[in-house]
Amino acid sequence: MPTFRISEAAELLGVSDDTVRRWAEVGRLATVRDDAGRQAIDGPVLARFAAELAEGGESATERAAVVRESARNRFAGIVTRVLRDGLMAQVEIQAGPHRVVSLMSREAADELGLAPGVLAVGSVKATNVVVEVPEQRR
């Protein structure tokens, strides 16, 4: 299973490196040592943590006031869940505060080696995209 350095985990969770270090120091996020002796996080552990954080955490607009935004169509994140059933698979990726769900063939999921803890990029192509600019707080 892959491991992720502190900076990689921070980027995937949408927080700072210091936040991930604090979580590790207080035991909220378990760490291991990678081959180079650096502090790292096992992929499956990071996947569970990302999913828990998204379920009980603040929304993106609660964390920081959004002035303007137009999300890009590529979401780099960590696979948090893969459900395989017959010919199809449902893959969930946690990309910072965003949960991206993809339905694909089971064969594709198997060939990509998708499992909780694997780094993946969800590319979204849609004919309709909603862009919002929330009211500014004063």
Secondary structure class of 44 (helix, strand, coil): helix
80 and 109 fall within a common domain: yes
Digit-coded pLDDT (tens) for 28-84: 999 999 889 999 999 999 999 988 887 765 444 344 554 554 545 778 899 999 999
Check: CB of residue 66 under 8 Å from CB of residue 76.
no
- Name the more confident of 67 and 13: 13
Owning domain of residue 119:
74-123
**Is 68 part of any domain?**
no
- pTM for the whole structure: 0.60
Sign of the alpha-carbon dihedral angle for 28, 32, 33, 35: negative
| Domain count across the chain | 2
Look up the CATH number of the domain holding residue 104.
2.40.50.100
83 and 114 fall within a common domain: yes
**Is 42 part of any domain?**
yes
- What pLDDT, on a 0 to 100 scale, did the predictor assign at position 110? 95
45 and 92 fall within a common domain: no
